[in-house]
Amino acid sequence: MFRLPVRVYWEDTDAGGVVFYANYLRFFERARTEWLRSRGHLQERWRRESGIGFVVTDTSVRYRCPARLDDLLDVTVAVAHAGQASFSVAQQAWRSDASGHPQLLVEGTIRIGCVALGTFKPCRIPSAILDSIR
């Protein structure tokens, strides 16, 4: 399972004193990007070289416990399903509590589709990518 540490900054919080829930989608995306990078896939290069891109088609997120300013989160990525033109990842955000036990804060499933840039029409995931995420 891939893990990315994510620090909570002022920009991530809201007037409730906690991380604004929509921002976990940003944290999840950073983790997916670094997970792909760790497998040698750079999204910007695909876009330029092959004219395809990945778009988020579905997100389902459950917010269990709030994170706060200065928290250090551990954001995970695990492939849940990989098809011909889309794949789904299960993602979680964890934080260690005062005694060092990991606590699950937020979890979700993100479905990503492969599309032709410009038209946003679905297309096959390149086999080099599909092989490495399966």
List residues near its own copies by CB under 8 A: 7, 9-11, 13-18, 20-23, 25-26, 29-30, 33-34, 42-45, 53, 55-63, 65-66, 68-70, 117, 120
**How far apart (Å, rounded) are the C-alpha atoms in residues 64 and 61?**
10
Nearer to its own copies, 47 or 134 (CB): 47
Nearest approach, Cβ of 26 to its own copies (angstroms)?
A: 5
CB-wise, 81 or 134, nearer to its own copies?
A: 81
**How far apart are CB 99 and its own copies at their closest, in Å?**
19
Which residues 6+ apart lie within 8 Å of 73 measured at CB? Answer: 5, 6, 7, 8, 27, 67, 93, 94, 95, 105
Q: How far is the CB of 65 from its own copies (least distance, A)?
A: 8
**14 has catalytic annotation:** yes
Cα of first residue to Cα of last residue in the chain, in angstroms, is: 12
Q: Cβ distance 125 to 114 under 8 Å?
A: yes
Give the nearer residue to its own copies in terms of CB position, either 65 or 134.
65
Amino acid at 133: I
Active site residues: 14
